Amino acid sequence: MSPDTVAALGVKPGTRTQERARAARTRRLLVQGSRVLLLVLVVALWEVLARAGVIDPFNFSMPSAIWDQIREWGAHGTAQGPLWEQIWYTLYEALLGWILGVTAGVVLGITLGRIRFLADVLGPYIKVLNAIPRIVLAPVFLIWFGLGPASKIASAVVLVFFPVFFNAFQGAREVDRNLVNNARILGASNRRVTLQVVVPSATSWIFTSLHVSFGFALIGAIVGEYIGATRGLGLLVAASQGTFNAAGVYAAMAILAVVALCTEGLLTFAERRLFRWRPAEPGAER
Amino acid sequence: MNIDTSPAIELRGAGKAFRTPSGALHTAVRNLDLTVGQGEFVAVVGPTGCGKSTTLTLVSGLEEPTEGEVLVAGEPVEGIGDKVGFVFQQDAVFPWRTVLSNVMAGPRFRGVPKAEAKEAARAWLSRVGLSAFEDRYPHQLSGGQRKRVALAATFVNDPRILLMDEPFSALDVQTRALMSDELLDLWSGTGASVVFVTHDLEESIALADRVVVMTAGPATVKRIFDIDLPRPRKVESVRLEPRFIEIYREIWESLGEEVRITRERGAADVA
């Protein structure tokens, strides 16, 4: 709520408001504090149990060993090369696969959403393709495209494409008919209606799928690397597993989680900028 | 010239039937005969759900008649003409565009250069009193303000024919009266012909030159009444005049019967 609205509601900017603000702040601190505490507790418990031998450190490793592993990779590099290079490779594959998959999904989804004939013809085939567990395509792509990034990008693309496609398709189908009619009356051509009415209305649908699909892109890249690669975090997991280095597997996972969180944050930021036209609180209007 | 002598809108035995999802044929309007002169303000009243809105979609070219003919400026309607403006019942402003950009949309769609479109949009925004809001998004405006944006966005295209589908029905009573006055003000001097669909008889008498009463659905024209109240009118005061009340009573006699039929049918459907 902006200061204007508070004033308009006739609330006196006195002790009451201050108290409320303080209570809200305290709650926020409490939530954040509890979060940190939970993390510390879990990590500490893991460490203690592993050191005491209750859980087998060989299988489950322990936080200190994982941290040492990350530091060692950072300082001296991995067996496959410097750590940042592995991260960059995975990120590069995931990002390129994601962009290609999203582009294809959005373009095809909107096109099929707008052109009934195409949707009717292609619909069953898309359903069949969607029914294939696409992760099994990763070995096929390895055979087709080799050990390089291309095979990982391909598996990321097939994972990303479908959720984005279905959401874009649905978004294009569910455009408010009033808006379309209004645009047509105002003089918009079919192309204009698609670009300036259908695409903006579908963006909220598409964005929902973007969050999920970036996770899928990472999965595609990692699985591809795990099966066969020359670089990347997936390869780190595979190599660590091959040498019975549990800490290595967990360390690669931890790095992946951080990377995924950072990209998720960037996406949320982009979404906020793009959806300035929407009411601040989602769901407040509907 | 042909355009000057022929009426703005002419419906000749027009009818429209839809296929319902179950495959049955539903007749919305039938055998419609109606002529709207140049610069005339015609209000169409009828029981709810009788097919009044369908009449507008036929004139606008959004839908084609299944029977008869629809002529605009003496020419049969083929697709959406560039002389038509349409104000919808629900909000039809683009929520992702700012107020200014919404009003610019029409001219931009029609290929007017950006600077020129902006100038025209600003002029209309100031006429509807929203100059200070041009950078806002629709969700930041009240319902009445959004309707003003819709009016400005429609008038900026300089329509010769203005079709309005219960445009103010979602507004509260005070705002509605205010908007009606504003509409009369915006319309006067444009020379546009208006077809204004409403279920509110008071509103229709206060605004129109002629009131068309529709029958219960499938709708057709029942009777047409001339409204001889002098212009310029103020909606709030004109409805207190004795002549207004006289007209109201006269039209209600005709309309009330159709409303009763619709209501009885509804009751029969429920039972």
Question: Which CATH number fits the domain that encloses residue B68?
Answer: 3.40.50.300
Please state, in angstroms and as integers, the Cα–Cα distance from residue A261 to each residue in A205, B134, B199, following that order. Answer: 21, 38, 55
Q: How many domains, chain A?
A: 2
- Does residue A280 lie in a domain region? no
Q: How many CB atoms lie within 10 A of CB B210?
A: 18
> What is the rounded CA–CA span in Å between residue B199 and residue B169?
9
Let me know if A176 is exposed, middle or buried by CB neighbors in 10 A (0-12, 13-18, 19+): middle
Question: Which of A184, A186, A200 lies at the smallest CB-CB distance from B153?
Answer: A186
Residues B174 and B146 in one domain: no
Structure tokens at B210: 């002629």
Q: How many helices (H) and strands (E) does chain B have?
A: 9, 10
pTM above 0.80, yes or no: no
SS3 B19: strand
* A220 and A167 assigned to the same domain: yes
Same domain, yes or no: A32 and A77: no
Residue A285 belongs to some domain of the structure: no
Residues B251 and B124 in one domain: no
Residue in chain A closest to B62 (alpha carbons) equals A181
Question: Do B120 and B225 fall within a single domain?
Answer: no
Q: Which residue range forms the structural domain that includes residue B129?
A: 92-158
B39 with B101, same domain: the answer is no
Give the end-to-end CA distance of chain B in Å, rounded to a whole number.
Answer: 57
**Are A75 and A50 in the same domain?**
no
Domain limit, last residue, from A55, A81, A99: A55
B223 and B128 in a common domain: no
Looking at the fold, whether A225 and A125 belong to one and the same domain comes out as yes
Question: Is residue A166 included in any domain, yes or no?
Answer: yes
B92–A184: do the CB atoms touch at under 8 Å? no
In terms of domains, do A86 and A188 share one?
Answer: yes
Among candidate residues B158, B188, B211, the one where a domain is terminated: B158
Task: Clarify whether residues A71 and A50 are in a common domain.
Answer: no
B135-156 tens-digit pLDDT: 999 999 988 899 999 999 999 9
Q: Are residues B122 and B241 in the same domain?
A: no
Are residues A13 and A78 located together in one domain of the fold? Answer: no
Last residue of a domain, one of B137, B158, B179: B158
Write out the two tokens for B60: 């606008």
In a domain, A283, yes or no: no
Contact A278 B139 (CB under 8 A): yes
Q: Which residues of A touch B92 (CB under 8 A)?
A: 176, 178-179, 181-182
pLDDT tens for chain A, residues 1 to 286: 444 444 455 555 568 888 888 999 999 999 999 999 999 999 999 999 988 888 888 888 888 889 998 888 888 888 788 888 888 989 999 999 999 999 999 999 999 999 989 999 998 998 898 888 888 888 999 999 988 899 999 999 999 999 999 999 999 988 988 899 999 999 888 899 999 999 998 888 888 888 888 889 999 999 999 888 888 888 888 888 888 888 888 888 899 899 888 988 888 888 888 877 777 654 433 3
Measure CB to CB from residue A185 to each of B60, B93, B137 and give the nearest one: B60
| Nearest residue of B to residue A198, measured between CA atoms | B94
Number of domains in chain B: 2
Chain B residue with minimal CA distance to A178?
Answer: B92
Q: A7 and A99, same structural domain?
A: no
Do the chains contact at A285 and B139, CB–CB below 8 Å?
A: yes
Same domain, A45 and A159: no
CB contact under 8 A, B137 and A276: yes
Q: For testing the chain A interface, which of B96, B97, B137, B139 should be mutated: the one with the most A CBs within 10 Å?
A: B96
Same domain assignment for residues A26 and A83: no
A151 lies in which domain range? 63-274
Return the residue in B59, B94, B137, B195 with the most chain A beta carbons within 10 A, the one to mutate for interface testing: B94
Residue A122 lies in a domain: yes
The closest CB to that of B137, out of A176, A203, A277, belongs to A277
